[in-house]
Structure formats: C-alpha cells, structure tokens
Amino acid sequence: MVIAHPSPDLYGSDRMLIESVRALTETAEVTVVLPADGPLTERLRPLGAEVVIMPTPVLRKALLRPAGLVRLAGAVVVTLPRMVAWLRRARPSAVYVNTITIPFWIAAARLARVRVVCHAHEAEQGGPRLLRRLLVLPARFAHHTIANSGACLATLTDGGVPARRGTVVYNGVPAPETPSPARAEPAGRLVLVGRLSPRKGGDVAIRAVAELRRRGHDVTLTLVGAVFPGYEWYEDELRGLAAETEGVVFAGFQDPVSPFMDDADIVLVPSLEEPFGNVAVEGMLARRPVVASGVQGLREIVEPGVNGVLVPPGDPGALAGAVEALLRDWPEAVAMAERGRADAEARFTLERYRAEILQVVLGNTPNTPYSHGDAGAVAEGGR
C-alpha cells in the first residue's frame, strides 16, 4: 500500500497520518511518500513503514494566482508521468492520499489503475464558490473519501463528491498519561497551539490579550507553532501586533506540546476555519478549559457550557469576554474542564480511529455518507 502525504512536519494532519500508518502496517506493507525529509520521517520508520522522498506539487493558496498556476502546471507536466510510472512499478494494493492538497496523487493512481482513497482534512469556506469547487474537484475521482468531520464532508459533497462515497472518521487524539490538574487559582496563562496561519486566528488571540490587559487582567499568551514557507509575512504581522501589548510569547514549533498545555490555564482555539480541531481535544485531555470559535468541526467537539466554550469567530472582544468569565468563576471552569476530559476520552480515542481507518481503506465501508457516530446529525447543524 502507498500513502501519499504533503508534509514532513508534525502538525494535525501529520500526526493523524502517523496513526493511519500505525493501523495499516498491521495488515499491509506500507510505503509513505513525502515531498521532503523532516521530523515526520523519523516517526514513521519505527512503525515499519518505508519512507520515500519524492518532490511533488502541493496546493497552497499562494499558487492560486496566474504566476503560481503557471509554475504548478509546469511541475505537474514533469512530475505526474513520473508518479504514474512509479506506481506501476510498485503495484500497490491501494493508494491512500492524505489531504486534498496533493490531488495529483489521485490522478496518478487512477491513471495507474489503482484503488485510491482520499482523506480530507480541509473544509475551505472562504473565497469564490467556483474556487472552492475546483479545490474539491480531484476528490470526486477517488474511489472513496474520508472526511474528518461532518462539516468537512458537507464541504466535499457541496463540491460534487458523491455522498455514497464519503465517510466521516473523527480524528483520534492521544491522551497524556498523567495530565497535571488545573491550578487552584489561575495565573492567567493562555496558550494557542498550531500553525501560525491567518485561519488559526493568532491575531484574534493577541487582540483579545490586549483587551484583557486593558480590563486589568495580567494574562499572558504563548503561541506554539511556526508558519508555512511563504507565509512569513503573517508572522511579521503577528509580531507587530504583539509589540503593541505585553505578555505575548512566540515559542515556535515544539514537539511535544504537552508541557505548554500543562503550563497553561486556558487553551484557545480561535480559528476562523477548522475542519476538525485536534487542539481543542488536546486541551480537554490536558484537563484545561477550552475556548474555541463556533465554526465547522469545533462545533462538533465543543458543547457550550458542558465541555468548553464557543465564541463567534474573528471577535477579539468575545474571546476576551469568555476568558474573563472563566477566570472569574474558576471552580466552574475547572469542573467544565474535567467534563471535557471525560468526553474527549470517550469520543476521540486512537483505537476507534485506527479501526475505522482500517475499515475504510480496506474497502469494507457501507455506502452511506455517515457511517460512524452522529456525524449525520452534526452535518445538519447539531452536535
């Protein structure tokens, strides 16, 4: 079996790839194809997977401009025949394409006459509808598509992916062995873990910190993560915002992130778009109150007031208000965090994730759009 993945890093979809590989190596010989070497490589080899480095085009928004499209077309002309030839030599039982940002692997698999499963971790909402449909278009040619949430699957079906060929598999998130309990009294330490990306809402979090400090709260914010190449401008923008207030720390990429969760009082997930939201689950498992944007997959994870707090996306004032309310009623915040931990341990286990991935990739999935859990209800607007 061949697994194609767009990144050698260790963020959300990269970590889920590790668990997919862990499941699939139990029943098949697995070769993982990455576009470059990186920290993910050393996580895969001990699982018994062969790792092949093969530079291939990855779709980024920066390429969706005239000059970028020309470069992309040139890269495809050169690399697609090579991908097809390589698959014909390897003769895998299936190709598992992890994310829709590497659609040319779907094309290569179809041209090589190999069954292909696409695992979507994206639910693009911004920009023109035609552009969103074009981004989803390659997934229509996969034999089956996995979506990491009901919101993600709704985006895929809106883009033309047949519902009968889609299955929701919620991410599995590892629980820390001994998460430290919350402080008896909060120290005002906030953490945001994830890519430094406009859609992750780092600017919203920094503005919320500025508002909290204006209200007299001595809070701090640690941003744990780095930018995609080509998005350095966004980090510069964040640092410019941070220079206008105190208490903002840029920790860069970190692995593991658990020490930062342990040090925090509250976990922020202020994303403008979030197909799933691993960090929200990680915060719950770390026994920390979670404040998240009420968008997409985060609405499928967080039940307001029960296991976390939801706020309108892109609203620093609302984010600040939610944090302030938690700090003022800390005993209830801690109780909510404990409820969150129990809920996350029940719903987002690695064992459940691996079993469902194995079922779908091996072709044993019923032809229904929502084969697991309550994803159908979620896609209609419920939790």
Whether residues 150 and 17 share a domain: the answer is: yes
Q: What is the pLDDT of residues 211-228, one digit of tens each?
A: 999 999 999 999 999 988
CA 96 to chain CA centroid, Å, is 17
124 pLDDT exceeds 90? no
150 pLDDT exceeds 60? yes
Whether residues 112 and 211 share a domain: the answer is: no
Whether residues 150 and 289 share a domain: the answer is: no
Q: Is residue 183 part of a domain?
A: no
Q: Is residue 182 part of a domain?
A: no
Whether residues 63 and 133 share a domain: the answer is: yes
Whether residues 122 and 231 share a domain: the answer is: no
Whether residues 48 and 16 share a domain: the answer is: yes
Span 114-141, average pLDDT = 80
Which CATH number covers residue 294? 3.40.50.2000
Provide the domain count of the chain.
Answer: 2
Whether residues 337 and 309 share a domain: the answer is: yes
Q: Is residue 179 part of a domain?
A: no
Whether residues 326 and 360 share a domain: the answer is: no
Average pLDDT, the chain: 89
Q: Considering the entire predicted model, what is its pTM?
A: 0.87
Q: What is the pLDDT of residues 184-203, one digit of tens each?
A: 999 999 999 999 999 999 99
In 3D, which of 135, 181, 185 has the Cα closest to residue 158? 135
| 70-74, 170-174, 184-188, 205-209: least confidently modelled range | 70-74
377 pLDDT exceeds 50? no
232 pLDDT exceeds 80? yes
Q: What is the pLDDT of residues 297-351, one digit of tens each?
A: 999 999 999 999 999 999 999 999 999 999 999 999 999 999 999 999 999 999 9
256: cis peptide before it, omega within 30°?
Answer: yes
Helix (H, G, I), strand (E, B) or coil at 238: helix
Span 348-359, average pLDDT = 96
Q: Is residue 307 part of a domain?
A: yes
- In this prediction, residue 220 carries a pLDDT of 98
Whether residues 227 and 200 share a domain: the answer is: yes
Span 232-250, average pLDDT = 95
What is the span of the domain harbouring residue 286?
189-347
Please spell the DSSP secondary structure of 182-226, one letter per residue.
PPSS---EEEEES---GGGTHHHHHHHHHHHHHTT---EEEEE--
Dist CA 295 CA 293 (whole Å): 6
48-58: buried (b, 16+ CB within 10 Å) or exposed (e) per residue?
ebebeeeebbb
- In this prediction, residue 131 carries a pLDDT of 63
Whether residues 335 and 361 share a domain: the answer is: no
Whether residues 224 and 355 share a domain: the answer is: no
Whether residues 371 and 330 share a domain: the answer is: no
